[in-house]
Structure 1
Amino acid sequence: MALNIPGVVAVLLFYILILGTGVWAAQKSRKAERKSNGDRTEVVLLGERRINLVVGIFTMTATWVGGGFILGLAEAVYTPNRGLVWALMPLQYSFNFILGGLFFAKPMRDKMYVTMMDPLQQKYGHILCSCLALPSLLGDMLWQLKYFYLPGITMSVILDLPYSYSVWISSAVAIIYTLLGGLYSVAYTDVIQLALVFVSLFLCVPFVLLSPKSLSIAQTAFNHTFQEPWVGNLQQDDIWMWIDDFLLLGLGSVGFQSFHQRTLSAATSATAQLTCYAAAFVIAILGIPPVLVGAVAASTDWNLTSYGLPPPYDRGEQTFVLPLTLQSLAPPYISVIGIGAVAAAVMSSTDSGLLSATSVFSSNIYKNILRKEVSDYEMQWVIRIAVVVVGVVGTSITFYLKSTLVLWILGADVAYTLIFPHLVAVLFFKGTNGYGGTVGYILGITIRILVGENTIGLPVVLPLPGCTLVDGIYVQKAPFRTFSMLCTLVTIVLFSSLALFIFDRGLLPPHWDVFNVKSSHICLLFLRVRFFFLFFFVSEDNLLNRDVELMHISLFQSKC
């Protein structure tokens, strides 16, 4: 096949536009650094905490509307026996943003954290926090690898451009402008990228909907034509799995640094919350075009197209159904616009993954653990080197990938079953401490491994209720990811309370208290209950007991 010259030129122009915007934003970042009287690291990682509402909405939405969002939605709607019922991402992310705005944005922004690992580091100390930072970095890396992989396979479909060229060009542009301007460059390029995604996708939809090679999607929504109805179905046995999948991203996305980087960079706490609520609405709107393209693909007689038979699903190419549909049903110049939308979406998520991984490493590992007396100048170079290393390593690994499914599962599982419960416990359970965190960390990982993951060949060792044997392999029907997450959360709270009780009651010597537990809300409540009973049920002769209990309560309150 011949190289699509007009398409390559259009994509290169798009990259030049993005790079130019990134360089312009980098100049803004440099000015802010020179004017900054405090930590210049905050300028790079958080845009000096001056991201306004409009830019915040764009960068929050663009971070999640990536290539996986667009291609994955179209694939889910098109795939037989899945369909629209399983195309959950717009609803999941909207739910995630609303949840984040209600419960996480304000307390995190009010306390001026730099990363989401900061509250964990304050509660758990450096050792346990570093153990949690590593899976956080892994989650960001896996998430980023997926978006390095997607532009190559998509451009190779429409532009006939070699995979390696597509990947290296895309990653080089993202690395350069992230390196130059940090969050300022990422945020302002997200504005351009999201605008291109919005316009391009909605421009492409009418052409594929009106193609004579497809039936009306209303006709094929519930009727069997070329394949199963694209609306899909939800069997009774799959209801719990549907809920598990929904919660995996609906709650688990709060466990990604990329989300908190947007709220922490907002100008005020109110702006951070409004950013989340507005992004929840915008991301639902942006889910419409890929859903429609997937429905058209399921309604298309592929024998009438240049693609021919068998259709994409029978060839195992359902992942590429969106670019294939644009290429087969739309005019060439429209398909090029469509690939521009995918490229823009990919870039907007790639740069976020780069900066998120860099933030956690530079702030929570290098600055707070390895080099506590690090200079501002040295931190700038650490951030730059980290961006380059993460970008180059991530790009290199994509050449050994055959599917993004494993990356998506591992990245999402890390955020949902491990990071999310720790963050909830630290922010909303005041008695959380390193003992509960350590046991929760170990038990959480153990249970997640034992319940298995068939898609990556991890066998089921701990079958949950409803687990069935299918073709010689045990398949979990219960929400096993949510079960793992809840086990982690309950373990953290339970063992934190137990440790507080043990050390506050003197059941173990103080020098055994390696996490330096100093106050106990559980014991304080216990003492208040005891004082209540002493006050109402003891005789006047035992007034001294009440005075002693009151003294204990005052002592614990002073410790708190």
Structure 2
Amino acid sequence: MIDQIPGDANPYYLAAFVLYLLLVLGIGLWGYTKTDDVMDFWVFGQEMGPTLATWSLVANFVSSVSVIGFIGAVYVEGYSFMTHTIFGLMLGVSGLYFVVGRVRELNVLTLPDMIAKTTGYEIARPISGSVLLANGWLYLIMQLVGASLLVTTITGVPYEYMVWVIGVVFIIYTVLGGLVSVAWTDLLQAVVMVCAVVIALVYMISDMGSLTAINTEFAALDSAMVHPTHEGTYTALMIAATIVAFFGTIFTEQNMLVRIAATKDVRTAKIHLAGAGVILSVFYSILILLGGATTVALLDSGLGVDDPDAAFPVLITDYVSTGIGVVIILAVMSAILSTTDTRLHSTGITTARDIYSYFKPDASERRLMRVSRVATVFFGVTATAAAVNPPGTIIELYNLRAVLLTSAFLLPVYVAIYWTDLDGRAVVTAITGGAVLGLGTDLAGGGIGAIPSTFVGVGVAILILLAGHYLLSSSDKGGGAVTNN
């Protein structure tokens, strides 16, 4: 179980937390009244406009991993975090912009939909859906750990109880209104989150003299902290693997495809990706600088922590004023709630649309909506139970699911949507092989020799893809070939 962080409860922090939960529950209830059918529940009736789509994507993108985990990572390894992880994420958003037209052409709602359509094999839906459920479940655990760690720190409520309080709230408002509830709460949360993080950095700069003074002190703690590779800690191969892993998560996240499908048209889909990309690039630059300021402030004040995930919560409780603490809490809660509801929603649509409907193709819309809601509750409850005693830090879990997604989907899926006569059986086999080898080697120690797990998984996937295509197409010419229409 996560160690408890000592600290006196602050009634203002507790009140802000309770009021915020009540607000998002209210939006969830309102979203329930606006959800008439399964398409509303899954993809907003495919009527999402550019402003709502942009801010919803920003909120979905920024999570407890970003606000708590990334600041914790800067506390440990400095600004080098920008060189690999954040660069990979922003590169992924930019890259997705250029393929969104092709994705919309296929007229699909989910990633497994797209894989099935490009391979000609419906069995791809439950296979790829299972990988996505594993990813979604890991992400839910991360979010719940981040939220509960923060609120435990600021309220003094034991961690194991707070996990369940937050988990139940997430489940209720996501189950009520599906993507309608999720998108409108995201709009509120994104604006609060961006403004609050800017305010927090301005406060830290004012408190510590200047940004130059912060960076000078940061370098004085350890010169490696301001080095782009943490002074040789990261080799070029390791940096490249991390960039590929996080680039790949953007292309292979179920919620990214769902949001593209939810927009009104291709133009809106492109606008929301471009707009969100600009906002996120600025936001993450500010966040990393805030991580440096947090590190300097804690260490100079004798408030160093052993668990990097605790760095930002301790800054709130033991360093900043109560007023700024409330602002920061709202930012973190916005980040956590907005991403958790999206992942919960994704588990529901993946289960109903990609797995259940494969086995029950004649299921009614009412039945599919019920399955979505039941699955949302199931994965929410089990993730909450796992978060009571999480299997690793937020960043460790984040890296694990990045390797899983990229290894399984990046090359097989996006090669298949352009290579129109690629053998579908090879694609499905490559997805399975990449997922097993990428995840397996990462769990076993991080790769094979000097080769990082991401490159192992992606390499295996492309070898299976090419060898499988030529072997299968030569023995069964034309059998199972992709038929993109």
Query: TM-score scaled by structure 2?
Result: 0.90
The residue correspondences of 1:513-524 to structure 2 (distance < 5 A) are: 516-517=479-480
Contact in 1 for aligned 2:408/2:432 (Cα 8 Å): no
Q: Deviations over 1:187-220 (max 9, x none)?
A: 0100011111112212222222233599921322
- The structure carrying a bigger helix percent of its residues is 2
> What is the distance in 1 between the residues matched to 2:481 and 2:72?
53
Aligned length: 473
SS of structure 2 residue aligned to 1:126: coil
Alignment-derived partner of residue 352 in structure 2: 362
- Residue 61 of structure 1 is aligned with which of 53, 58, 63? 58
* AA matched with 2:160: S
> What is the distance in 1 between the residues matched to 2:483 and 2:122?
22
**C-alpha deviation, 1:459, in angstroms:** 7.3
**C-alpha deviation, 1:288, in angstroms:** 3.2
**C-alpha deviation, 1:385, in angstroms:** 0.9
Judged with a 3 Å threshold, the aligned counterparts in structure 2 of structure 1 residues 102 and 96 are, in CA distance, closer, same or farther, namely: same
> What is the distance in 1 between the residues matched to 2:102 and 2:347?
22
Alignment-derived partner of residue 362 in structure 2: 373
- Residue 289 of structure 1 is aligned with which of 279, 286, 294? 286
Alignment-derived partner of residue 103 in structure 2: 108
> What is the distance in 1 between the residues matched to 2:183 and 2:446?
42
Judged with a 3 Å threshold, the aligned counterparts in structure 2 of structure 1 residues 13 and 371 are, in CA distance, closer, same or farther, namely: same
The residue correspondences of 1:92-103 to structure 2 (distance < 5 A) are: 92-103=88-99
SS of structure 1 residue aligned to 2:417: helix
Alignment-derived partner of residue 48 in structure 2: 51
> What is the distance in 2 between the residues matched to 1:321 and 1:293?
11
> What is the distance in 2 between the residues matched to 1:394 and 1:519?
37
Q: Deviations over 1:3-56 (max 9, x none)?
A: 221111111111122222222233222xxx2xxxxxx32221000000000000
> What is the distance in 1 between the residues matched to 2:474 and 2:240?
36
Judged with a 3 Å threshold, the aligned counterparts in structure 2 of structure 1 residues 213 and 330 are, in CA distance, closer, same or farther, namely: farther
Contact in 2 for aligned 1:243/1:479 (Cα 8 Å): no
**C-alpha deviation, 1:405, in angstroms:** 4.1
Alignment-derived partner of residue 433 in structure 1: 423
SS of structure 1 residue aligned to 2:164: helix
- Residue 9 of structure 2 is aligned with which of 3, 13, 34? 3
Contact in 1 for aligned 2:421/2:481 (Cα 8 Å): no
Alignment-derived partner of residue 160 in structure 1: 156
SS of structure 1 residue aligned to 2:225: coil
**C-alpha deviation, 1:457, in angstroms:** 4.4
Alignment-derived partner of residue 481 in structure 1: 454
Judged with a 3 Å threshold, the aligned counterparts in structure 2 of structure 1 residues 257 and 459 are, in CA distance, closer, same or farther, namely: closer
Alignment-derived partner of residue 259 in structure 2: 262
Matched, 1:118 2:113: yes
Which stretch shows the higher mean deviation, 402-411 or 327-336?
402-411
Alignment-derived partner of residue 24 in structure 2: 18
- Residue 330 of structure 2 is aligned with which of 335, 340, 354? 340
Unaligned 5+ residue runs, structure 2?
Answer: 1-6
Matched, 1:143 2:132: no
> What is the distance in 1 between the residues matched to 2:265 and 2:352?
24
> What is the distance in 2 between the residues matched to 1:229 and 1:440?
39
* AA matched with 1:5: P
Judged with a 3 Å threshold, the aligned counterparts in structure 2 of structure 1 residues 442 and 326 are, in CA distance, closer, same or farther, namely: closer
Matched, 1:173 2:169: yes
Contact in 1 for aligned 2:438/2:457 (Cα 8 Å): yes
The residue correspondences of 1:493-532 to structure 2 (distance < 5 A) are: 493-504=466-477, 516-517=479-480
> What is the distance in 2 between the residues matched to 1:377 and 1:129?
21
SS of structure 1 residue aligned to 2:388: helix
Alignment-derived partner of residue 275 in structure 1: 272
Matched, 1:250 2:247: yes
Contact in 2 for aligned 1:436/1:491 (Cα 8 Å): yes
Matched, 1:231 2:226: yes
**C-alpha deviation, 1:503, in angstroms:** 2.0
> What is the distance in 1 between the residues matched to 2:198 and 2:71?
14
* AA matched with 1:517: G
Judged with a 3 Å threshold, the aligned counterparts in structure 2 of structure 1 residues 114 and 303 are, in CA distance, closer, same or farther, namely: closer
Unaligned 5+ residue runs, structure 1?
Answer: 34-39, 464-475, 506-515, 522-559
> What is the distance in 2 between the residues matched to 1:278 and 1:102?
14
Contact in 2 for aligned 1:241/1:479 (Cα 8 Å): yes
Contact in 1 for aligned 2:71/2:312 (Cα 8 Å): yes
The residue correspondences of 1:125-140 to structure 2 (distance < 5 A) are: 125-140=121-136
Judged with a 3 Å threshold, the aligned counterparts in structure 2 of structure 1 residues 409 and 291 are, in CA distance, closer, same or farther, namely: closer
**C-alpha deviation, 1:346, in angstroms:** 0.4
Which stretch shows the higher mean deviation, 376-385 or 118-127?
118-127
Matched, 1:323 2:320: no
- Residue 387 of structure 1 is aligned with which of 376, 380, 391? 376
Alignment-derived partner of residue 511 in structure 1: none
Runs ≥4 residues deviating over 4 A: 212-215, 518-521
> What is the distance in 2 between the residues matched to 1:520 and 1:393?
39
SS of structure 1 residue aligned to 2:475: helix
Q: Could you say which structure has the greater relative contact order, defined with CA pairs below 8 angstroms and 6 or more residues apart? A: 2
The residue correspondences of 1:165-204 to structure 2 (distance < 5 A) are: 165-204=161-200
* AA matched with 1:66: S
> What is the distance in 2 between the residues matched to 1:63 and 1:101?
17
> Considering only aligned residues, what root-mean-square deviation do their CA atoms show, in Å?
2.6
Contact in 2 for aligned 1:86/1:232 (Cα 8 Å): no
Q: Deviations over 1:141-166 (max 9, x none)?
A: 11121111111111222332321343
**C-alpha deviation, 1:179, in angstroms:** 1.1
* AA matched with 2:260: T
Query: TM-score scaled by structure 1?
Result: 0.79
Contact in 2 for aligned 1:200/1:338 (Cα 8 Å): yes
The residue correspondences of 1:288-307 to structure 2 (distance < 5 A) are: 288-300=285-297, 302=299, 304=301
Structure possessing the higher radius of gyration over alpha carbons: 1
Contact in 2 for aligned 1:125/1:434 (Cα 8 Å): yes
> What is the distance in 2 between the residues matched to 1:164 and 1:329?
25
* AA matched with 2:130: L
* AA matched with 2:10: N
Contact in 2 for aligned 1:73/1:287 (Cα 8 Å): no
Contact in 2 for aligned 1:170/1:347 (Cα 8 Å): no
> What is the distance in 2 between the residues matched to 1:518 and 1:65?
39
> What is the distance in 2 between the residues matched to 1:321 and 1:171?
23
> What is the distance in 2 between the residues matched to 1:2 and 1:233?
38
Judged with a 3 Å threshold, the aligned counterparts in structure 2 of structure 1 residues 112 and 3 are, in CA distance, closer, same or farther, namely: same
* AA matched with 1:67: S
> What is the distance in 1 between the residues matched to 2:362 and 2:197?
49
> What is the distance in 1 between the residues matched to 2:268 and 2:108?
16
> What is the distance in 2 between the residues matched to 1:445 and 1:428?
22
> What is the distance in 1 between the residues matched to 2:256 and 2:474?
35
* AA matched with 1:486: G
**C-alpha deviation, 1:97, in angstroms:** 1.2
Which stretch shows the higher mean deviation, 233-242 or 129-138?
233-242
